[in-house]
Amino acid sequence: MNSLQQLDYVVFSLYLILVASYGYWVFQRDKTKNTTTQGFFLAEGSLTWWAIGASLIASNISAEHFIGMSGSGFAIGLAISSYEWMSAATLIIVAVFFIPIYLKNKIYTMPQLLSLRYNDTVATIMAVFWLLLYVFINLTSILYLGSLALETITGVKFEYCMGALSIFAILITLGGMKVIGYTDVIQVVVLILGGLATTYLALNMVSDKFGGEGVFDGLSLLKTKADDHFHMIFSKGDKHYYELPGLSILIGGMWINNLNYWGCNQYIVQRALGADLKTARSGIIFAAFLKLLIPLICVIPGIAAYVLYNNGSLQQEMVDLHGVVKPDHAYPSLMNLLPQGLKGLAFAALTAAIVASLASKCNSIATIFSLDIYKKILKKDATERQTVLIGRYAVWVSFAIALIVTPQLRHLEQAYQFIQEYSNYITPGAFALFSLGLFWKKTTSNAAIIAAVLTLPLSLLFKILPNWMHTDPIPFLDRTLWVYLILVILMITISLIEDRKKKETKGFEVDTSMFKVSSSFVVISMLICGVLAALYTVFW
């Protein structure tokens, strides 16, 4: 039934009241601090480790995971989990090597980092790239998937769902980073509980369909009935090789993708930039642990829907009006089968994931525009209050643009793959700037400018070149790796040439003691890596 019942509305209303009340209390408690840039954009170092970890996950997990990743689970299988599991390993690297440099050098925004390391030209180029990416790809795709899911579950028109999600997210965003960070704790608890409810239902349905008893039988039957959906590595020639090209997910482009996302991405690292090193690292390792659980609540339901569909269930739910199978219908279709109360919880979980991500993206859009465009270029003498006010205006403008663009995405089949591929057009250049800028002192500003300018043309060239040559398309993760390597070689060459001319370069304050970690951090990291090794060994 594509609607919520009375008990569902009660559960959902409790969620709304809890988030709104807690957010309002957090806002009122430190209201005066929200008029400063540090208070509004960075929460002025007040987030605890568990709030940082929860907020990292809440800002990352959204409709693109619940809907898009479940859709990819339906179409591709468990292999799509590599984005989550490899992220866990990536977060450990970010905590050890990236965060200490950011905190030591008092970095607040990623363009600010590029300005300090290179020059304002590099910073402005990348600030514009990031703003375009966040507004036209991230914000719109999350709003699209979220509205699609809400429409499917409640029967409310897509446009109304867009408007409601936008208003809820705007209200949270306008409260500043502290409100976002602490309400994200509630959002994460709700999204995990609601996600587990849907997984429980899906596995029980599979178990009942084939005469099993309970969720563990359902999980075992899932492997038996969809063995082709339980492989992590695809060989060349496989129909899914383009999305997940073999070993590239372990030793290639996936690392570039994840290191850039988790280590050089404003709306991710922003959570940790206001904390001390120990708190930031603890929060990040907590997020790495939570990342191991995400496929259970996002991918497994999609595989379950695939098994059920292939065996006569969900026949109407999984197709559109033209009879075409739509993988992104998997999660909403399962949610619609939940009993009263649990459906309301799952609906709250989905809403929490969507709103938390929308708020995080928009806070980072406001941060970059206010600090790196407005205060740095448009009005250098702007006061703290004026800068925060412009940030709040940027929130409204961003959502206005997203509301115009979002309906154009309705033709997509697998939105998660759309997000990953088109985000990767600027990933190679961004990560080349950061990796060499942070860890190689000789990198020059001119080398960085050339890499920043060339990243989009090179990515587009690798995209269209196979069409010209009538060859197989290059998987976008491989394309990401090749473009990154080309840019790194180019930057090194230019930097070495300029070094001979005694061209002065700017570096960061770095010492080896910054990279030392506690014994507890080492133990937890080893446990996470051990789990990852076991998973890839079992599902190779």
**Mean pLDDT value across residues 371-389:** 84
Enumerate residues 6+ apart whose C-beta is below 8 A from 461: none
For residue 359, give the amino acid letter.
A
Dihedral sign computed on CA atoms, order 406, 410, 412, 414: positive
* Phi and psi angles of residue 242, each rounded to the nearest 5 degrees, phi first: -60, -40
CA distances from 83 to 145, 221, 258, 362, 489 (A): 18, 25, 8, 23, 27
The DSSP output letter for 376 is: I
pLDDT winner (highest mean) among 50-59, 349-358, 403-412, 441-450: 441-450
List pLDDT tens digits, range 170-214: 887 777 666 776 777 777 788 788 888 889 989 999 998 888 888
Structural contact between residues 280 and 112, judged by C-beta atoms closer than 8 angstroms: no
Q: Which two tokens stand for residue 517?
A: 């970690």
Query: Residue 470 region, left (φ>0) first, then alpha (ψ -120 to 50), else beta?
Result: left
Q: What gap in Å lies between CA 291 and CA 303, rounded to an integer?
A: 19
**pLDDT-based confidence at 8, cuts 50/70/90?**
confident
The DSSP output letter for 235 is: P
For residue 107, the Cα-to-chain-centroid distance in whole angstroms is 21
**pLDDT-based confidence at 94, cuts 50/70/90?**
very high
For residue 320, give the amino acid letter.
D
pLDDT at 89 over 60: yes
pLDDT confidence of residue 413? 56
Look at residue 51 and give its three-state secondary structure. helix
Segment among 252-266, 347-361, 389-403, 417-431 with least mean pLDDT:
417-431
CB atoms within 10 A of CB 165: 22
Enumerate residues 6+ apart whose C-beta is below 8 A from 286: 49, 50, 52, 53, 54
Nearest alpha-carbon partner for 500 in 457, 442, 454: 442
Q: What gap in Å lies between CA 289 and CA 85, rounded to an integer?
A: 10
Q: What gap in Å lies between CA 326 and CA 332, rounded to an integer?
A: 11
pLDDT confidence of residue 420? 64
pLDDT confidence of residue 158? 86
pLDDT at 500 over 80: no
Structural contact between residues 121 and 111, judged by C-beta atoms closer than 8 angstroms: no
Q: Which residue has the tokens 């998660």?
A: 416
Rg (CA), the chain: 23
Query: Residue 474 region, left (φ>0) first, then alpha (ψ -120 to 50), else beta?
Result: beta
The DSSP output letter for 3 is: S
**pLDDT-based confidence at 42, cuts 50/70/90?**
low
pLDDT confidence of residue 530? 94
**pLDDT-based confidence at 436, cuts 50/70/90?**
very high
Segment among 21-35, 61-75, 157-171, 317-331 with least mean pLDDT:
21-35
**Mean pLDDT value across residues 329-334:** 84
Q: Which two tokens stand for residue 250?
A: 């372990």
Gap between the terminal Cα atoms of the chain: 38
Q: pTM score, two decimals?
A: 0.85
Long-range contacts of 128-132 (CB under 8 A, 24+ apart): 129/426, 129/430, 129/452, 129/456, 130/266, 130/368, 130/426, 130/430, 131/365, 131/368, 131/369, 131/373
Structural contact between residues 259 and 93, judged by C-beta atoms closer than 8 angstroms: yes
Q: HEC states along 295-343?
A: HHHHCHHHHHHHHHHHCCCCCCCCECCCCCECHHHHHHHHHCCCCCCHH
Structural contact between residues 126 and 452, judged by C-beta atoms closer than 8 angstroms: yes
Structural contact between residues 155 and 475, judged by C-beta atoms closer than 8 angstroms: no
Structural contact between residues 274 and 46, judged by C-beta atoms closer than 8 angstroms: yes
Nearest alpha-carbon partner for 134 in 355, 411, 432, 360: 360
CA distances from 466 to 122, 408, 478 (A): 31, 27, 13
Q: Which residue has the tokens 């800068």?
A: 387
**Mean pLDDT value across residues 489-502:** 86
pLDDT confidence of residue 96? 93
pLDDT confidence of residue 259? 93
Q: What gap in Å lies between CA 56 and CA 286, rounded to an integer?
A: 9
pLDDT confidence of residue 521? 93
Q: What gap in Å lies between CA 526 and CA 523, rounded to an integer?
A: 5
pLDDT at 165 over 70: yes
The angle, 0 to 180 degrees and rounded to 10, between the axes of the packed helices 427-439 and 120-133 is 140
Enumerate residues 6+ apart whose C-beta is below 8 A from 74: 302, 303, 305, 306, 309, 318, 327, 330
State the alpha helices, DSSP H only, in 424-444: 427-439
Buried b / exposed e along 373-411 (16+ C-beta atoms within 10 A) = bbbbeeeeebeeeebbbbbbebbeebbeebbebbeebee
pLDDT confidence of residue 502? 65
Nearest alpha-carbon partner for 362 in 339, 393, 395: 395
